[in-house]
Structure 1
Amino acid sequence: MTPSAPLLLTRHALPEFGTHVLSAQWREPRIGIVHLGIGNFHRAHQALYTEEAMLAAGGDWGICGVTLQGDVSKRDALMAQQGLYGVVERGAQGEKVTIARALLEVLAMPHDHEILFARLTDPLVKIVSLTVTEKGYCRDSRTGDVDLEDTLVAHDLAHPETPRSVPGILVAALRRRRANPFTVLSCDNLAHNGAALRQAVCSFARQLDPELGDWIAKEVAFPSTMVDRIVPATTDSERESVVRALGYRDAAPVPCEPFRQWVIEDHFPAGRPAWETAGAQLVDDVTPFELAKLRMLNGTHSTLAYLSMLAGFETIDAAISDPDMHRLIYTMMTDEIAPTLTVPGSLDVLAYRDALLARYANPALKHRCAQIAMDGSQKIPPRLLGTIAARIAQGQPFARLALAVAAWMMFLRGHADDGIRFEIKDPLASRLQALAASAHGEPDALLAALLPVREIFPAELAAHPGLRSALHDALQTLAKGARGAIAAYAG
């Protein structure tokens, strides 16, 4: 007789989950947060902080998650489970499965337009948070204003009542919430994310109604945040983990590391969950924290990703276990990145370095380098070029940082040193690949083709002879093989 398949997760089964929930004491809240971009990161990070805050201090902060991709599969999978899903935390101490409960509803745009706007105009909703990546802000990279050439933006300006873009959705909702505006909380991996989102939203609003744009700029809070947790893509392994732990089937589990961090600018006129009870840091200014993370973690993550794509390392833990790579990243953080940071006394930069190296070495995560290598045109400027500019201003060398940028340039050829091909996933992919192909494998030609791309390289920085020289040397070394370059620059 064939055994029956495990039952799907359901809230009726919560009493059976024992230690696999954060607490047996749980009151179903009403929805107080709408989150745009219901991906793995939010579900392993902010949603857990919010559940823990409600357990500690109460409040109606249930989450309505929204996918903006037009694909209903995630909505349907999560709603079939009544918003439940497993968080599979893996580290040196083993594996832990926790069933998260703060997500109460999932919507898919544009299919659920009316339901979404009913939520957004509900006075109980006091926060609209986002993890949509920088490209979801539809910003002009040169000015920071909304990109008027973006197809979604053009649609929303012509049809403001049926918006599809993030700025369009927020402006349409805020127009209806002038008596009691919600707080807009960016949780994206972007420097000054609150200010960046405010500028995009206000510039969009002014295209429709200058007075509305001015009101949003004055009256709506856009606090900045710094978020951190490594959250890889879901695989069948996580689904199997939930079945093993609970005996129930989960179509949408999330893998993550044990470490997490959330630093939040404490500006919430309409109220907020007591996130500090869950370990979040509420501060007046997140800038020192976000800059440390951007340069130390994100910068070295990208370095690892692009060098690994060339050298043939598939995952971050495999890459950092190579002695030369480990030494390269250690020295890069110690000698080139840390000296550019001014941090509060509560942040020990060198201890932070050591914690990052330990996190990278976590063998349980299998964080794929190809995933980190996506969207390089948007990641390279803040993660690496900003640090290079700081080193130039200090009159200090930046050879390892230049190697990272050069590795990204070589990555655009679309193949590893051994000839294995890979896909370039980037908003500028076709243009960048065409430029890389025009170089015909010549390092100097590659440099000449890519430095004029102003969306990535500011004119003044691109013209700096020190940058050109450092990139030239790095490209020449990489042309002989990435593994040799890693060893040469490990120093």
Structure 2
Amino acid sequence: MSRLSSQTLAQLPADVIRPAYDRAAVKCGVVHIGIGAFHRAHQAVIFDNALNAGDLRWGIVAASLRSPGVRDQMQPQDGLYTMLVRDGAAQRARVIGAVQRIIVAPEEPQALLAALASPDTHIVTLTITEKGYKLDPATGALIEADPQLAADMVSLDAPQTAPGYLVAALARRRAAGLSPFTAISCDNLPHNGARLRGAVLELARRHDAALADWIAQHGAFPETMVDRIVPATTAEDIAALATRLGVEDQAMVKTEPFLQWVIEDRFCGPRPNFGAGVQLTAAVAPWEEAKLRLLNGAHSGIAYLGGLAGIDHVHEVLALPEARHFVEALWDEAERTLSPPPELDVAAYRRDLMARFDNPTLRHRTRQIAMDGSQKLPQRLLAPIAARLKAGDGIDALALAVAAWIRWQAGRDDSGAPHHVDDPLAETMAAALADKQDTADRVAAILAFDAVVPPALARDDRLRTSLNPWLAILETNGALAALAAFRGVME
């Protein structure tokens, strides 16, 4: 079967939405670092909307800092791919044309630097996951022991990290008399704009204090919050779409109808008319906090408990009454820690979240969500725990979610089947747990990781007292028994 491409675009069924602009006339005003499925279903769609509206400045040069996988999927397709929006029985296919070029940074570091330094580039977006910023999750400081970052601290001739590429490109722009670009982190980091700015300034200062001062004065690093559920694409998805389209699309993404992008109104150059789904605001933090603690916090709890129980997908976990009860209780606890903006109706947001989680056509895998837990838990679960303990409130649901994450580190589910613990600290945590003989010792070993658990929180006996019994139930009787016990305790 032929591939989706510029040549085969006209062959697609009439109901498939396709670019309404001349792709040959597009200029690339955006460089995106981290060309994964989420970007293709989120930010790329927003810039594609701007192109469809007639503003042809917002094509994308996309880059991968690691694998050539996405490049190899998209390059034979001229950068085109299908976004399949699924809502129950309804499906809508749209071909996105915003991505004009894909660079694999380790293969072509100078090409990425040239794109970042181009006069056409006004905005740089990043979806590199929490670990890609090389920042300590607890303090926000650069992890100087990281070998890639250590190399960038010595030389930026061929950068190896995202902060390294940004600093090197900003140095080129300054030397050429160009203004900086607006750099937008689209990852689930607390205060992601401030953290990205801090990483760039700290690394720049290691090389050139005057450059750091110039970036601080003229650059822009807006805070942002992104929200859309984008499950991993499977071989079955690709085959089913090929049957529908009559061409094969190796780069397709599947997603839900919901899309939200809240951006701090802080830019240092041109920006598009973002349109539907995007909200510019003076303060992103309340939106970010609500999303991290409600959507992402619940997702983590569902992922670890469901994964331990051998349940593959989010909607299947929530088919259990005990699991729905747990999620609502977790939301009750987390909601008390929020300061929502006036525009956010938290009760309606919770209802919408449950409906999104229940969408059976997304088939969002628990193991996909379970990745990189050590990077995600500080903002999703540990921050609301700290806030509730400070207020003297209970943490039963939040503690059960954290205990399930600790149990996940054992690498086996409740049936004894092995699973891969996909986490940058997996080996270190496994070693720390290896010789621990009882539950309390295992909890203490995990709480000792100050890169994950803030030391003040780790020393709080109320946290240990809450975690120990839940981990004991999980280890002895399993996740389903823990959910049943939680419902019994709460009722």
Q: TM-score, normalised by structure 1?
A: 0.95
- Corresponding position: 1:369 with 2:366: yes
* Match 2:301 to one of 285, 300, 303: 303
Give the CA deviation at 1:141.
3.6
Whole-Å Cα distance in 2 between the matches of residues 120 and 160 of structure 1? 14
Q: For the residues of structure 1 that align with 2:54 and 2:461, how far apart are their CA atoms? A: 56
Q: Does 1:397 align with 2:397?
A: no
* Matched residue, 1:3: none
Following the alignment from structure 2 to structure 1, what is the Cα–Cα distance between the partners of residues 53 and 89? 26
Equivalent of 1:156, from 137, 152, 155?
152
Q: Does 1:21 align with 2:20?
A: no
CA shift in 2, pair 1:184/1:166, >3 Å:
same
Distance 2:44 2:359 in 1: 23
| Contact in 2 for aligned 1:26/1:55 (Cα 8 Å) | no
In 2, Cα distance between the equivalents of 1:387 and 1:141?
A: 15
Distance 1:447 1:326 in 2: 26
Match of 2:380 in 1: 383
Report whether the alignment pairs 1:74 with 2:70.
yes
Deviations 1:302-357 (A, max 9, x none): 00111112222111111111111011101221x21111111122111111111111
Q: Which residue of 2 aligns with 1:190?
A: 189
1:343 aligns with 2:340: yes
Q: How does 1:225-374 map to 2 (within 5 A)?
A: 225-275=224-274, 277-333=275-331, 335-374=332-371
AA matched with 2:142: V
SS of the counterpart of 1:65?
A: strand
Paired amino acid for 2:242: V
In structure 2, the partner of 1:131 is: 127
How far 1:239 moved relative to its partner?
Answer: 1.3
Q: State the superposition RMSD in angstroms.
A: 1.5
* 1:434 and 2:431 are equivalent in the alignment: yes
Distance 1:308 1:143 in 2: 31
Cα deviation code 1:363-422 (max 9, x no counterpart): 111111111111111111110010001111221111110011111111111111111111
**Amino acid corresponding to residue 294 of structure 1 in structure 2:** L
Measured against aligned partners, the alpha-carbon deviations of 1:102-122 in whole angstroms (never above 9, x if no partner) come to 011101012122222221121
Aligned pair 1:7/2:2, yes or no? yes
Contact 2:304/2:404 (CA < 8 Å) preserved in 1? yes
> Does the residue aligned with 2:113 lie in a helix, a strand or coil?
helix
CA deviation after TM superposition for structure 1 residue 23, in Å? 5.5
Aligned-pair identity (%): 44
Find the aligned partners of 1:272 and 1:290 in 2 and give their Cα distance. 21
* 1:265-296 deviations in Å (ceiling 9; x for gaps): 11122111111x23211111111110000000
- Cα 1:87–1:13 change in 2 (3 A) is same
* Equivalent-residue separation in structure 1 for 2:479 and 2:8 (angstroms): 52
1:94 positional shift: 2.1
8 Å Cα contact 1:54/1:273 also seen in 2: no
Instruction: Pick which of 195-204 and 341-350 moved more.
Output: 341-350
Offset at 1:475? 1.7
**Contact 1:97/1:241 (8 A) holds in 2:** no
Gaps of 5+ in 1: 1-5
Q: Is the 8 A contact 2:136 2:451 kept in 1?
A: no
Q: Is the 8 A contact 1:54 1:274 kept in 2?
A: no
Matching of residue 467 in structure 1 with residue 466 in structure 2: no
Q: CA–CA distance in 1 between the matches of 2:209 and 2:305? A: 47
Q: 1: distance between equivalents of 2:347 and 2:281?
A: 22
TM-score for both structures, normalised by structure 2: 0.95
**Could you tell me how far 1:148 is from its partner in structure 2?**
1.6
Taking the TM superposition and a 5 Å limit, the aligned residue runs for 1:97-116 are 97-116=93-112
Distance in 1 (CA, whole Å) between partners of 2:360 and 2:215 is 46
CA distance in 2, matches of 1:31, 1:313: 43
Q: For 1:67 and 1:374, how far apart are their aligned partners in 2?
A: 19
Distance 1:202 1:248 in 2: 46
Aligned residues: 482
Deviations 1:405-457 (A, max 9, x none): 111111111111111111111111111111222224x2112112211111111
Task: Please give the alpha-carbon distance, in whole angstroms, between the structure 2 residues aligned to 1:108 and 1:23.
Answer: 25
Distance in 1 (alpha carbons) for counterparts of 2:138 and 2:484: 36
Q: Distance in 1 between matches of 2:446 and 2:141?
A: 24
User: Is the deviation greater in 408-417 or in 23-32?
Assistant: 23-32
Deviation at 1:173, TM superposition (A): 0.1
Task: Tell me the distance in 2 between the aligned counterparts of 1:485 and 1:197.
Answer: 39
- 236-245 or 189-198: bigger deviation: 236-245
Instruction: Supply the AA of the counterpart residue of 2:375.
Output: Q
By how many angstroms is 1:26 displaced? 4.8
Letter in 2 for 1:36: I
Instruction: Tell me if the contact between 1:409 and 1:436 (Cα under 8 Å) persists in the aligned partners.
Output: no
Distance 1:279 1:452 in 2: 41
Runs of at least 5 residues in structure 2 that lack an aligned partner in the other structure = none
Residue identity matched to 2:298: T
